[in-house]
A and B are shown apart, each in its own frame.
Chain A
Amino acid sequence: MKSEKKSVTVKELLDGLGDEMKFKVISGFNGLQRSITAAEVNRPGLALAGYYEHFAKHRLQVLGLVEMDYLKNISSSEHSERLGRLMQMRIPAFIIARNFIPLPETVALSNKYNVPIIRAPGITMRVVNKTSMWLEEQFSPSTKVHGVLMEVYGMGVLITGKASVGKSECALSLVERGHILVGDDVVTLKLTEGMFVTGYANPTIGHHMEIRGIGIINIQSLYGVKSIRMWKHIDFVVTLEEWQEDSNYERLGIDNNLIELLGMEIPNVLIPVKPGRDVALLIETAAQNEKLKKLGFNAARDFNEHLIASMKKK
Chain B
Amino acid sequence: MTVSDLKQAYPDSPKPKINWARIDEAEDFANTVKLFRQGKYDEDSFRRYRLQHGAYGTRMTSDYAMVRIKLPAGEIYPNQLEKISQLSEQFSIGNAHFTTRENIQLHWVILEDVSEIFRGLAEVGLTSREACGNSVRNVMCSPLAGVCPNEEFDSTPYALATARFFLRNPLSQNLPRKFKFTFTCCEKHGMVRMVDVGLIPQTRDLNGITQRGFKIFLGGGLGNKSFVGHQLEEFTPEEDLLHTSIAVIRIFDRLGDRKNMARNRMRYLVHEMGWEKFRNLVLKERAIVRATQSVITRLDVDHTPTVIKRLIKISDESGSQNPDGYNRWIKTNTLKQKQSDYNSVFITLEAGDITSSQISALAAIIGEFSSEGLARSGFAQNIALRYVHDDDMTRLYSRLLEVGLAKSGALTMAAPIGCSGTTSCNLALTNSHRLAKEIQRKFLELKLDQDDDLCDSSIKISGCPNACGQHGIATIGFFGGGARIGKEMYPNYQMSIGGRSDEETMLGATCHRIPAKRVIPVILKIIELFKQNKKPDDTLKEWIHRIVNGKEDSAIKSVLDMRKILDPLTIPPTIEEDPDFYNDYGSDSSYHTKTGKGECAA
Do they bind each other? Answer: no
B residues contacting A by CB (< 8 A) are none
Residues of chain A touching chain B, judged by Cβ–Cβ distance below 8 Å, are: none
